[in-house]
Amino acid sequence: MCFRRQLLEYCLNPKVETKTVEGIDVGRLRQQARESGRANSKPPVPFDSWFEVDVFLQIVGRGFRVIPQYELASKRIDLLVEGMEGRLAVECDGDQWHGLEEWDRDVDRQRMLERCGLRFWRVRGSAYYRDPDTALEPLWHVLEEQGVFTGFRATPRPSPGPPALAPEVTEVAVEAEIDDGELRHEPPELDSDSEFFEPGEEQQQAPLFPATSLTAPLSLPPYAQWTPHPVPDVHSAPLPEIINVLVEIVAAEGPVVCRRVYSLYNRAAGNSRLGRQIVHVLNRASYRAVKLGRLAQNDEQRRGGQMNQVVRITGAPELSVRERGPRSLEDIPPLEIAAVRERLRQQEPDLGEDQMVRRLAAVYGIVRKTTQVRKMLLG
């Protein structure tokens, strides 16, 4: 066997040793993790908690190279997952290890490391031990997006380029975001096991108009997004602390539909889905914030239910016309769409319904003009 060929094959497709990773005997670690009395003993070095051990074993079991307690810029990361083309920091937020008093320190550490170019993904202990597979499912997608693979990918990912102006490219960019499920007028009936599915990764917004549309494009201010950071677990945190985060999100993005506020909170908490219990707690928190005078709300969508209310900071304008940004059409307040409709009418007073739908669809980067979409755009 040619040693040069062996070396090249290893460099192009290094095999992660499943028996020993970073000097850790994985087999022995699995045995220790399965012991019934492990809670009464400290986790093996270098792990800080048994929760980290469990997540480490799950990721290693997928063939990834994982470094526990990785030190970077004098800061420690719970688990660093490394691949051929990228790496990802995985933080294990167990309640006993990341309590409320450590949030500020956790946020500062994460922001500093993110400035170094490292992306973070967080998982909460309560979500993991409720359903490990569901809790870690988003992780595998994030690893792929970050280029963290278990081996070499012969076809490199295309580098991002400037958004194309051709209408057909715009359609491809936004089609995945809009479907009939996102545009239903009534929320599904819930039972104890029902869940609201989180939207997928936010897409980059399509250009305001295709190259062949209006001669005088409508210029809208950009959509200001809330910056995610670790947030209290809705299952254990006091209601006032949850309210503080909801108000913070609304201050950044309001006027905003409660449903989007809940989704942002839920993802920042490390959850992949909006379950019935989470929605119930967040409904209580937002309703209480309104009663306390910290938020004002308006039932613009006329659908009833707290999660369909459009909320804003008390005293703030009830209307803010902006680009679509990362929002689905369902998450754009009707008053905002109506204001854009009025501006288009001022530009072209003779627009018919079909033409208006096309103009609005171009503004918001929408391709599939279904009956529900038309109804929402025309008001």
**Whole-number Å distance between alpha carbons of 242 and 55:** 27
| 156 within a domain of the structure (yes/no) | no
Q: Is 95 domain-assigned?
A: yes
Per-residue pLDDT tens listing for the chain (379 residues): 577 776 666 555 555 445 566 678 888 899 999 998 888 899 999 998 999 999 999 998 888 889 999 887 777 889 999 876 788 999 988 755 444 556 667 777 787 787 777 889 989 888 899 899 889 999 998 888 887 877 545 444 444 444 444 333 333 333 333 333 333 333 333 333 334 444 443 334 433 333 333 334 578 899 999 999 999 999 889 999 999 999 999 999 999 999 999 999 999 999 888 888 899 999 999 999 999 999 999 999 888 889 999 999 999 999 999 999 999 999 999 999 999 999 999 988 998 999 999 999 989 888 888 888 898 999 8
Q: In what order do the strands lie in the sheet with 310-313?
A: 256-257, 310-313, 295-298
Query: Looking at the structure, do residues 134 and 172 belong to the same domain, yes or no?
Result: no
Q: How far is CA 18 from the centre of its chain?
A: 31
Q: Are residues 180 and 131 in the same domain?
A: no
Residue 159 lies in a domain: no
Q: Which domain holds residue 57?
A: 3-145
SS3 80: strand
Kindly write down the DSSP assignment for every residue of 264-321, as one continuous string: HHHHHTT-SEEEHHHHHHHHHHHHHHHHTTSEEEE-TT---SGGG-EEEETTS-S---
Dihedral over Cα of 18, 20, 24, 29: its sign: positive
On whether residue 315 sits in a domain, the answer given is: yes
What local confidence, expressed as pLDDT, does residue 102 receive? 61
Same domain, 171 and 140: no
Looking up tokens 């689905």, which residue turns up? 328
What gap in Å lies between CA 214 and CA 202, rounded to an integer? 27
- CA 8 to CA 6: how far, in whole Å? 6
Q: Which helix (H) or strand (E) holds 114?
A: helix 103-115
Specify the pLDDT at position 96. 56
204 lies in some domain:
yes
DSSP state string for 174-231:
HHTT--GGGG-SSPPP--TT-EEEPP-SPPPPPPSS-TTS-SSPPP-PPPPPP-----
If asked whether residues 97 and 200 sit together in one domain, one would say: no
Taking Cα atoms as reference points, which of 359, 365, 363, 331 lies closest to residue 184?
A: 331
Which residues are CB-neighbours of 372 under 8 A, at least 6 positions away?
A: 180, 183, 184, 185
Cβ partners under 8 Å of residue 66, min gap 6: 21, 22, 56, 59, 60, 79, 80, 81, 82, 90
Indicate whether 184 and 283 sit together in one domain: yes
User: What does DSSP say about strands 24-25 and 87-93: parallel, antiparallel, or unpaired?
Assistant: unpaired
Residue 141 shares a structural domain with residue 175? no
Do 139 and 172 share a domain, yes or no?
A: no
236 and 140 part of one domain: no
CA distances from 194 to 96, 190, 293 (A): 29, 5, 32
Q: Looking at the structure, do residues 173 and 292 belong to the same domain, yes or no?
A: yes
Q: Has residue 161 been placed in a domain?
A: no
DSSP β-ladder status, 120-124 and 87-93:
parallel
Residue 206 belongs to a domain: yes
245 and 201 together in one domain: yes
Same domain, 333 and 189: yes
Three-state DSSP class for 1?
coil
- Count of domains observed in the chain: 2
The verdict on residue 157 lying in a domain is no
**Model confidence, pTM:** 0.48
The residues, any chain, with a CB within 8 Å of residue 377's CB and separated by 6 or more, are: 329, 337, 341, 356, 357, 360, 361, 366
105 shares a domain with 32: yes
What is the domain-level CATH number for residue 52?
Answer: 3.40.960.10
